[in-house]
């Protein structure tokens, strides 16, 4: 884009770049143009769209908020802000804040472990809820880091309104960027974090806990949560299988589409689907957050069927022990938590016979466990 072009020509050309998916180029052009015309609403608008597409949500909002201030009734701007906010705070965040079982397990552990001498370091502030619980439990000081700008800003204001600004410091960092003494005056006594998804590990929790424990926690410090155990059971459920596979529809064979959904897994509440449990619960893995956890790259699990049937996949759940006495359990038919359960569907269902064993390959990835019936390789 040449600087000599008229404004309309310039905007048309960056709009073309955006439509073509060339977002980085568009951002570069628009940033240059904004240096010549700071605050120009057309330029800010287009840059916000490109930044949102690039996943730079902080950047997108930084361009959108001034536009909203200038024109509070502009529906297009409001809609774009809504779109970005939804990405920043997905709907589950609200269910999570209301999850009493989760909240009580964390607050119970904090109350029993925090002392007036404790320095607490939290990974992932969110709304500030757990950091405020730690402060209420009497910690000397709480340091908490949040990678997402708009979430962090909201947390800072929430903490201020709850009268805890002098007890909690919110760091604008990924936990992996936190440094002693620049951000944290000394190693923490307690490392706190709730970075878990329905399959436990979705948010790369092990990686972040390992890093923070190694660099930022005193050698005899405490990690909350303490440990977790992930369980599974074989299930038969054509209804759940249908949510992640396709066959003949309206007389057309669409089955090739299944190749695009490799090792499908999904969050759902098992009781909402017709299903049969075909095995007793079995342990997939115990994890201690207190020590380095070597991932099992691959192992074998043998599971006996307690019923004959067609096994479409594995339902997974976990027990998360925040300390020795407090835990959250996401098992089917237990108290409901915002995590529901996690169901992994096989590429091909397996016929099982009551009393006979099925052998599975257990793989641990950074974000989940996966079981594959042996014959599937
Ligand atoms: C599941 S929420 C929990 C929020 C809050 N601690 C609570 O329990 O209510 C996790 C938050 O941590 C942030 N987060 C995840 N990993 C992080 C990391 N390694 N460093 C900083 N923030 C992180 C996410 O952006 C998200 O806001």
What pLDDT is recorded for position 262? 79
What pLDDT is recorded for position 3? 54
What tens digit of pLDDT does each residue of 241-255 get? 999 888 899 999 999
Which pair of structure tokens corresponds to residue 229? 């155990």
What pLDDT is recorded for position 298? 86
How many Cα atoms sit within 13 Å of 339 on the Cβ side?
30
Ligand 1 atom at minimal distance to the Cα of residue 193: 6
Instruction: Find where tokens 């003949």 sit.
Output: 248
Report the SS3 class of residue 9: helix
Under 8 Å between Cβ of 50 and 27: yes
For ligand 1, atom 23, the nearest C-alpha belongs to 124
What pLDDT is recorded for position 113? 97
Report the SS3 class of residue 182: coil
Task: Return the number of other C-beta atoms located less than 10 Å from residue 179's C-beta.
Answer: 12
Best residue among 125, 128, 134, 184 to mutate for probing ligand 1, ranked by most atoms within 8 Å of CB? 125
Ligand 1 atom at minimal distance to the Cα of residue 89: 27
Best residue among 57, 87, 120, 126 to mutate for probing ligand 1, ranked by most atoms within 8 Å of CB? 126
For ligand 1, atom 15, the nearest C-alpha belongs to 124
SS (H, E, C) 29-62: HHHHHHHHCCCCHHHHHHHHHHHHHHCCHHHHHH
What pLDDT is recorded for position 1? 55
**Cα–Cα distance between 203 and 194 in angstroms, integer?**
9
What pLDDT is recorded for position 198? 95
What pLDDT is recorded for position 293? 75
Beta bridge partners of 248: 253
Q: How far is the CA of 155 from the centre of ligand 1 (A)?
A: 11
**Cα–Cα distance between 318 and 332 in angstroms, integer?**
10
Report the SS3 class of residue 373: strand
Q: Which among 125, 108, 137 is positioned nearest to 328, based on CA atoms?
A: 108
**Cα–Cα distance between 230 and 201 in angstroms, integer?**
10
Best residue among 58, 100, 124 to mutate for probing ligand 1, ranked by most atoms within 8 Å of CB? 124
Cis, peptide link before residue 100, omega less than 30° from 0? no
Give 111's contacts (C-beta < 8 A, 6+ positions apart): 137
Which pair of structure tokens corresponds to residue 143? 């340091």
Strand 188-193 with 276-277, pairing? unpaired
Give 207's contacts (C-beta < 8 A, 6+ positions apart): 366
What is the pLDDT tens value at each position of the chain, 377 positions in all? 555 568 889 999 999 999 999 999 999 999 999 999 999 999 999 999 999 999 999 999 999 999 999 999 999 999 999 999 988 888 889 999 999 999 999 999 999 999 999 999 999 999 999 999 999 999 999 999 998 888 999 999 999 999 999 999 999 999 999 999 999 999 999 999 999 999 999 888 999 999 999 999 999 999 999 999 999 999 999 999 999 888 899 999 999 998 888 778 999 999 999 999 999 999 999 999 998 877 777 889 999 999 999 999 999 999 999 999 999 999 998 778 999 999 999 988 999 999 999 999 999 888 899 999 986 44
Radius of gyration of the CA atoms of the chain, in A:
25
Beta bridge partners of 37: none
What pLDDT is recorded for position 4? 56
Give 171's contacts (C-beta < 8 A, 6+ positions apart): 143, 144, 145, 146, 178, 183, 184
What tens digit of pLDDT does each residue of 46-71 get? 999 999 999 999 999 999 999 999 99
Residue 261 DSSP code: S
What pLDDT is recorded for position 294? 75
For ligand 1, atom 12, the nearest C-alpha belongs to 124
What pLDDT is recorded for position 181? 96
Q: How far is the CA of 376 from the centre of ligand 1 (A)?
A: 36
């Amino acid at each position: 884009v040449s600087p000599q072009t008229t404004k309309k020509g310039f905007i048309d050309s960056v709009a073309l770049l955006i439509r073509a998916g060339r977002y980085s180029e568009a951002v570069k052009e628009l940033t240059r143009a904004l240096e010549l015309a700071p605050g120009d609403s057309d330029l800010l608008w287009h840059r916000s769209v490109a930044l949102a597409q690039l996943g730079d949500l902080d950047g997108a909002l930084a361009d959108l908020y001034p536009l909203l201030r200038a024109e509070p009734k502009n529906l297009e701007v409001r809609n774009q802000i809504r779109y970005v906010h939804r990405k920043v705070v997905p709907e589950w965040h609200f269910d999570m804040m209301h999850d009493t079982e989760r909240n009580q397990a964390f607050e119970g552990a904090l109350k029993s472990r925090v002392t007036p001498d404790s320095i607490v370091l939290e990974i992932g502030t969110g709304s500030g809820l757990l950091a405020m619980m730690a402060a209420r439990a009497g910690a000397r000081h709480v340091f908490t880091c949040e990678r997402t700008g708009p979430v962090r800003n909201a947390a800072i204001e929430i903490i201020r309104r709850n009268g805890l600004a002098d007890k909690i410091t919110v760091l604008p960092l990924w936990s992996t960027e936190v440094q002693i003494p620049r951000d944290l005056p000394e190693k923490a006594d307690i490392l706190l974090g709730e970075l878990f998804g329905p399959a436990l590990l979705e948010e790369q929790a092990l990686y972040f806990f390992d890093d923070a424990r190694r660099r930022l926690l005193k050698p005899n410090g405490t990690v909350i949560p303490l440990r977790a155990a992930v369980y599974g059971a074989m299930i038969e459920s054509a209804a759940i299988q249908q949510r992640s596979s396709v066959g003949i529809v309206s007389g057309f064979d669409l089955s090739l589409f299944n190749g695009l959904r490799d090792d499908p897994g999904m969050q759902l509440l098992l009781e909402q689907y017709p299903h049969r449990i075909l095995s007793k619960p079995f342990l997939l893995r115990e994890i201690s957050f207190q020590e380095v956890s070597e991932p099992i790259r691959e192992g074998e699990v043998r599971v006996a069927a307690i019923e004959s049937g067609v096994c479409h996949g594995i339902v997974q759940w976990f027990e998360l022990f925040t300390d020795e006495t407090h835990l959250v359990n996401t098992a089917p038919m237990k108290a409901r938590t915002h995590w529901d359960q996690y169901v992994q569907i096989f590429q091909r269902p397996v016929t099982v016979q009551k009393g006979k064993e099925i052998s599975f390959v257990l793989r641990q990835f950074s974000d989940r466990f996966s079981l594959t019936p042996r014959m599937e390789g």
